[in-house]
Chain A
Amino acid sequence: MKNKTLVVVALCIALNIGLGQIASTLKLPIFLDSIGTILAAILLGPWIGMLTGLVTNLLWGLISGPVAAAFAPVAMVIGLVAGLCARKGMFRSLAGAIVAGVLITVFVTLVATPIRTYLFGGVTGSGADFVVAYLNAVGKKLLQSVAWTVMGTNLIDKVVSAVIAWAVVKQLPERIRSLFPGTGGAA
């Protein structure tokens, strides 16, 4: 792998971790921990996006404990879907970026739901558990309850993240933009 790719991936991983921490210090109700993954995917494509997501969660695992590593497939699918959306030229406009955010949420739900249901019993130890318990109690299957909750908690976060990544790429100075010729017209 070229040194340029390595440095971009490392920066984006550091961004994921750093921004995740900002969001929690500003007490914002969103995670913002995948903006780096989406950025890497826009700039360097779906495979690099997946790699960024994978290593981010492995590092989270090293810092905070093994649970984050279990969600590595989720982070990878974010990079994959964002990269494919960028190839289709969806990060060319604000509307496209919003649609990409929605698509990412759908695929995140598909991957995160089984992990959360079967490895963690559908429980996170956060406020979202009330929602799961409520949906489960009113007659939805556990898997369905978890899926709706995952969708709900991720939709705003992923759309906001995709929009931020789009705005950042749009604002890149010319000198940097010229380093990424294949950005699917995003820049």
Chain B
Amino acid sequence: MAGPLRAFVAWMVWVGGSMALPAFPFVAVMAGVALSALGLWRRSRRRLRAVAIFMIPLALGFGLVHGGVVGFLMGSPAAPSPERVRWAAGLWLRILSVVSSGQLWLEYVPPPVLITSLFASSLPAGIGFLLASPLLLGEQIRARLEQIREAQLARGVPVFGSFAERASALTALLFPLVLGLLNDLPTRVAALDMKAFGLFRRRTSLKNAAVAPRGTPEKTALAEEAQLAEQPQLAGKPRLAETAIRLEGVRFIPPAATEALLEVPELRLSSGERLLVTGDSGSGKSTLASLLSGGVPEHRSGTVTGNALVLEEPVASRNTLAWSPDVQFVQQNPQLSLSGCAFTVYDEVAFGPENLALPPDEIRGRVDGALAAAGISHLKDRDPARLSGGEAQKLALASALAMEPGLLVLDEAFTRVHPSDVPVLAGKLAVWSEARRSAVVFLEKKREPFAPWCGASGHLSDGRLLPGTPPESRRTSSDPGRSPAPRIAGPAEGALLRIDGVSFRWKGQDHPLFRSLGKELARGERVALVGPNGAGKSTLMRLCAGLLPPESGAVLLNGRSVTSMNPKERAGKIGFLFQDAERQIFHSTVEAEVLFSLRNAPLSGEEKMERLHKALEATGLAGKEKKHPLDLNAAERRMTAVASLSVAEPELLLLDEPTRDFDARRQELFEAWLAERPGAVLAVSHDFDFVSRGFPRVWLLDDGEIRADEAPEKALHCSATLAE
């Protein structure tokens, strides 16, 4: 703390001097000194601009208000008194002195340094949190706003244009942003609780302790394995509890409901064992996870009846915060589990153990072990906000492992991890759990690849947890007989979409992402776009949707350039389902949200309602018209966006990873819906079964080119090879 604090006190003294001393000559000299220091120090020189941008208009303003300029123009006889001019000039110098010295202080103590030193100081950690978290959230808000802007633009909301249009666009941007942020609130709070923030009065700070080497930056997989095996020796006290979970006749009832949302007749899990619970979206997996981590009623309102013991203690005897040293819960969205207090991956993982006030050496050992177990040792100096989805999920896992819980609950914690990494992680978790005698619960949609690592399994269906494996699912990936045949198999007459010599590069990049791409999509044709991560699949979709302008070439829909159409017109012809489809939602009922897509359509009220009901029927949302979209589960929220596309009946559907949140039942529903669409479809997907069932043609995008334009089997084989 010493450096930044001393600098702050020095600055405050300077501010006091600038305010109290006579303006001439003292403050004039001070302002000169501060300004020249700012200009002479190389690091701070760029800040002169900020001073100039503020001080020059201010000087003009002073001239206007105190220099008698307006009076002179209006023919007022009295010139300003010399005292007033002198006073105004003095005041301007005082402000200059304060502002310049302030910029010097800011350069000397940039926000991350200030915040880390606040956390290391004896001040309450809450102060550090309030300053750090908004700064780190700012990044997330900007990214989210960009997604919302794009989604609304694709729906035809004019984000640019006349004042009235911009003002109306404001609500379409602002409401999804604010409601979305507030909607994530319980998850964020639970994540902070889970990191034991505020559990003890004192916390350890690694920044305060003498700096110890953090290990070599590069670690081989072998070294990680070795470290993992050593980890038990680093661990603290052995767990005493023999039984990790014992639930008997447990029922969870939400407020103002009579029926249980979740019912567990019996469930037992011993320490050191692993349990796999499968269930569709909305079947109660997250509720179970929340219950096991002490989240009821604080983070999930409702009551629990029956006998619920975790680590041989009634789960209701503590809240999530008090359970955090013993029970860790990793939820689906990794961005929401970030502490909002750490500027590097290493600090993020260390944050929880620091809050447990452990000795610094033990914290370092835990962090290194956890990073190795999650396979992200190489990311330790990265900014957590800038990780990919899969990396962020591994970070969330590492943060939980560093707490060394007796029970670890993973609620679909691997959805964004590359499929080939998931079995590796599951295996490492099994080793970790055996070695530490910790129990692990996997809550997943599918049994694979977790089943081999789990001794026990259960299945959630309509909120009821029963032991054993689920009844055979209605469709397995190797069953081609049931796949809904696409209505139009090959290209029909004429090209609907023409990608004509499109080149594109991101701003500031030397290397173009695409170089004169050329491709055609016929009316009614279905094409899947596949390729490795970072190949530019989503970017190509945005180019096709007219959301990004190409550097050269054009994307033509029915012979017209998509970038030349206005957003409203484009939205009537092209429907775009984004990866984060729920980000566009801003109405408070499903019905209003879906009808929003028809607001400009020349249809009668009756026709609109008819389309609405057909769309809700097809997406399985019938009966949920009056529900708040944000009260629905992830799969239903995505279906709301699908229904919005459905009613507009566009000629071209662009789908970016459409099936990510779907369970088997909804996937079937979605595929049936898709087969019924009369328009052409271009879809990005990693789900090879989905692609081979519904798409006769595949474009394989790699290295800026569409390499293969094939029947699915061959292209998918190619893509799988590239992914490795």
A interface list, Cβ under 8 A from B? 1-4, 6-11, 13-15, 17-19, 22, 26-28, 35, 39, 51, 55-56, 58-59, 61-67, 119-126, 129-130, 132-134, 136-138, 142, 164, 167-168, 170-176, 178-179
- Please list 5 pairs of residues, one from A and one from B, whose beta carbons are closer than 8 Å in the complex, sorted by A's number: A28-B167, A137-B70, A142-B65, A173-B179, A176-B185
**Are A13 and B130 in contact (CB-based, < 8 A)?**
yes
Chain B residue at minimal CB-CB distance from A132: B65
Choose one: B76, B95, B179, B340; the contact of A171 (CB below 8 Å): B179
What is the minimal beta-carbon distance from A101 to any residue of chain B, in angstroms?
16
Once A6-B126, A55-B130, A125-B54 are accepted as A-B contacts, the answer to whether A11 and B181 lie under 8 Å apart by CB is yes
**Are B65 and A133 in contact (CB-based, < 8 A)?**
yes
B281 CB within 8 Å of chain A: no
**Are B189 and A7 in contact (CB-based, < 8 A)?**
yes
Q: How far, in whole Å, are A19 and B58 apart by their CA atoms in the complex?
A: 25
Interface string of B98-136 (1 = CB under 8 A from A): 110011001000010010000000000010011101110
**Are A6 and B192 in contact (CB-based, < 8 A)?**
yes
**Which residues of the partner chain B approach A176 to less than 8 Å between Cβ atoms?**
182-183, 185-186, 630
Tell me the B300-350 residues at the A interface (CB within 8 Å). 301, 321, 340
Q: How far, in whole Å, are A51 and B69 apart by their CA atoms in the complex?
A: 41
Interface string of B134-171 (1 = CB under 8 A from A): 11011001100100000000000000000000110110
**Are B54 and A65 in contact (CB-based, < 8 A)?**
yes
**Are B114 and A62 in contact (CB-based, < 8 A)?**
yes
Question: What's the dominant secondary structure at chain B's contact region?
Answer: helix
Q: How far, in whole Å, are A176 and B183 apart by their CA atoms in the complex?
A: 6
What is the minimal beta-carbon distance from A36 to any residue of chain B, in angstroms?
9
**Which residues of the partner chain A approach B91 to less than 8 Å between Cβ atoms?**
120-121
Chain B residue at minimal CB-CB distance from A11: B181
What is the minimal beta-carbon distance from B107 to any residue of chain A, in angstroms?
11
**Are B92 and A134 in contact (CB-based, < 8 A)?**
no
What is the minimal beta-carbon distance from A144 to any residue of chain B, in angstroms?
13
**Are B65 and A121 in contact (CB-based, < 8 A)?**
yes
- 15 more A-B contacts (CB under 8 A) besides A11-B185, A14-B141, A125-B60? A3-B198, A3-B321, A7-B188, A10-B340, A13-B130, A18-B138, A18-B145, A22-B145, A28-B170, A62-B114, A67-B99, A121-B66, A125-B54, A125-B58, A126-B57
Once A64-B50, A174-B631 are accepted as A-B contacts, the answer to whether A3 and B197 lie under 8 Å apart by CB is yes
Once A13-B134, A174-B631 are accepted as A-B contacts, the answer to whether A133 and B69 lie under 8 Å apart by CB is yes
Q: How far, in whole Å, are A2 and B532 apart by their CA atoms in the complex?
A: 44
**Are B131 and A55 in contact (CB-based, < 8 A)?**
yes
**Which residues of the partner chain A approach B87 to less than 8 Å between Cβ atoms?**
121
**Which residues of the partner chain A approach B170 to less than 8 Å between Cβ atoms?**
22, 26, 28
**Which residues of the partner chain A approach B301 to less than 8 Å between Cβ atoms?**
175, 178-179
**Which residues of the partner chain B approach A27 to less than 8 Å between Cβ atoms?**
166
Tell me the B79-96 residues at the A interface (CB within 8 Å). 87-88, 91-92, 95
Interface string of B170-206 (1 = CB under 8 A from A): 1001110111011101101100110001100000000
Chain B residue at minimal CB-CB distance from A172: B182
**Are A14 and B133 in contact (CB-based, < 8 A)?**
yes
**Which residues of the partner chain B approach A17 to less than 8 Å between Cβ atoms?**
134, 138
**Are A15 and B141 in contact (CB-based, < 8 A)?**
yes
B64 CB within 8 Å of chain A: yes
B residues contacting the other copy or chain, number (CB 8 A)? 73
What is the minimal beta-carbon distance from A27 to any residue of chain B, in angstroms?
7
Q: How far, in whole Å, are A129 and B51 apart by their CA atoms in the complex?
A: 19
**Are A137 and B71 in contact (CB-based, < 8 A)?**
yes
B628 CB within 8 Å of chain A: yes
Q: How far, in whole Å, are A134 and B71 apart by their CA atoms in the complex?
A: 8
Q: How far, in whole Å, are A67 and B129 apart by their CA atoms in the complex?
A: 23
Of all A-B residue pairs in the complex, the 4 with the closest CB atoms, nearest first, are A125-B57, A66-B102, A10-B133, A123-B61
Q: How far, in whole Å, are A12 and B138 apart by their CA atoms in the complex?
A: 11
**Which residues of the partner chain B approach A7 to less than 8 Å between Cβ atoms?**
133, 185, 188-189, 192
B255 CB within 8 Å of chain A: yes
Once A3-B321, A11-B185, A66-B102 are accepted as A-B contacts, the answer to whether A125 and B61 lie under 8 Å apart by CB is yes
B690 CB within 8 Å of chain A: no
**Which residues of the partner chain A approach B198 to less than 8 Å between Cβ atoms?**
1-3, 6
Chain B residue at minimal CB-CB distance from A129: B61
Choose one: A19, A66, A179; the contact of B174 (CB below 8 Å): A19
B40 CB within 8 Å of chain A: no
Which of B54, B181, B340 has the largest count of A CB atoms less than 10 A from its CB? Answer: B181
Tell me the B5-58 residues at the A interface (CB within 8 Å). 15, 50-51, 54, 56-58
B533 CB within 8 Å of chain A: no
Once A13-B130, A26-B166, A65-B106 are accepted as A-B contacts, the answer to whether A8 and B141 lie under 8 Å apart by CB is no
Which of A7, A63, A142, A174 has the largest count of B CB atoms less than 10 A from its CB? Answer: A7
What is the minimal beta-carbon distance from A79 to any residue of chain B, in angstroms?
14
Q: How far, in whole Å, are A66 and B99 apart by their CA atoms in the complex?
A: 6
**Are A22 and B133 in contact (CB-based, < 8 A)?**
no
What is the minimal beta-carbon distance from A49 to any residue of chain B, in angstroms?
14
Tell me the B536-590 residues at the A interface (CB within 8 Å). 588
**Are A129 and B64 in contact (CB-based, < 8 A)?**
yes
Q: How far, in whole Å, are A142 and B64 apart by their CA atoms in the complex?
A: 13
**Are B192 and A3 in contact (CB-based, < 8 A)?**
yes
**Are A9 and B130 in contact (CB-based, < 8 A)?**
yes
**Which residues of the partner chain B approach A138 to less than 8 Å between Cβ atoms?**
74
Once A19-B174, A176-B186 are accepted as A-B contacts, the answer to whether A122 and B65 lie under 8 Å apart by CB is yes
Once A13-B130, A62-B114, A176-B185 are accepted as A-B contacts, the answer to whether A134 and B70 lie under 8 Å apart by CB is yes
